[in-house]
Amino acid sequence: MRRLTGTLTPWLFLVPALVLFALFKFVPMGEGIRLSLYDVRPYLGDEWVGLANYRTVLTDPRFQDAVGHTLLLAAGTTLGSMLIGFALAVLLEGHARSLWFVRSAVFLPVVAATAVIGEIWRLLYYPAPNGFLNSLLSWVGLGPWPFLDSPDTALWSVMAVGIWKGAPYDMVLILAGLAGIDRQLYEAAAIDGATVGQRLRHVTLPALRPVVTILLTLAAIRGLRVFTEVYVLTGGGPAGSTDVWMTRIYSLGFERNELGVASAGSVVLFLVTFLLTVIIRIYRGRREATVR
């Protein structure tokens, strides 16, 4: 009896969290999968259409454009965030007391609300010559640039905001990875005559492989599901040049009332994200097995 009680006790503490997860996550997920198989008609009754919604999603030119924008935005944001995060981590690594303040200041974009960040950057990107960034560019003889108002520059402007927000997060994880590197490896490399660049290449980067794998996994999920900053900055415009997967789903579901097609797009996004995560996990497992 005591053994049974000891086994059930942890689950009793988990029940409230499990109930909340079921009500606000798993039940809506199941309902979304169900709706993806129907032509949702409020007050008229849903009509079974099978996989027709999925065919619509996969063959819709605007959806294909949105997927392309999503992949480009995810790749650029991931690469830029990791490079800048690595540079910040190398610069801010150490045990000096003053570094905690600098690290905290650099980390602020991560804890700030994405909607607030989007509004601030939308003001900074004001396309007129007297806009903040255009005023700075005028000092060096550049601009004015349209930023968010031109199809040629809007996606890159959104990408810059994503990099600015994601780099401090990557910095923290890379700092944790740097703290776990044996300092004797650096000393041995220095004794052998290795330069700073060689030490970074042959000591630091190989030791950070587990951290890089985690960053890629998180970045893939974050990049494919990007929504708030795009919606606040451009709403998918101009002329659909920044329309991404999530904004397209939002537009179909809440503006065009095609809830079945929007649900199908959400299910496809979930499957792609899940598959990508599994691939990265398998690759990481094989790399670790090879090292061992």
Domains and CATH numbers, the chain: 62-257 (1.10.3720.10)
Check: CB of residue 167 under 8 Å from CB of residue 84: yes
Nearest CA to 78 out of 148, 165, 155 is that of 165
Give me the DSSP letters along 158-183: HHHHHHHHHHHHHHHHHHHHHHTS-H
Check: CB of residue 25 under 8 Å from CB of residue 31: no
Report residue 267's pLDDT band, with 50, 70 and 90 as the boundaries.
very high
What integer is the mean pLDDT of 198-218?
82
pLDDT score for 291: 58
pLDDT score for 106: 84
What integer is the mean pLDDT of 22-27?
87
**Can you say how many angstroms the Cα of residue 65 is from the centroid of all Cα atoms in its chain?**
19
Mean pLDDT in the chain? 85
pLDDT score for 70: 92
Nearest CA to 170 out of 121, 126, 214, 200 is that of 214
245 versus 186: the higher-pLDDT residue is: 245
pLDDT score for 160: 93
For residue 117, pLDDT over 80 is answered with yes
pLDDT score for 159: 93
Instruction: Express as a percent the part of the chain with pLDDT over 70.
Output: 95
Nearest CA to 125 out of 85, 117, 80 is that of 117
Crossing angle for the helix pair 154-179 and 114-124, nearest 10 degrees?
A: 130
289 versus 143: the higher-pLDDT residue is: 143
Report residue 179's pLDDT band, with 50, 70 and 90 as the boundaries.
confident
Range with the lowest mean pLDDT among 4-8, 116-120, 143-147, 149-153?
Answer: 4-8
Range with the lowest mean pLDDT among 7-21, 104-118, 161-175, 278-292?
Answer: 278-292
Q: Distance between CA 129 and CA 137 in Å, rounded? A: 9
Q: What is the pLDDT of residues 59-82, one digit of tens each?
A: 989 888 999 999 999 999 989 998
269 versus 284: the higher-pLDDT residue is: 269
Q: Distance between CA 14 and CA 157 in Å, rounded? A: 43
pLDDT score for 114: 85
What integer is the mean pLDDT of 235-253?
89
Query: CA torsion 255→256→258→264, rounded to 10°?
Result: -60
Instruction: Say how many C-beta atoms besides its own lie within 10 A of residue 235's C-beta.
Output: 14
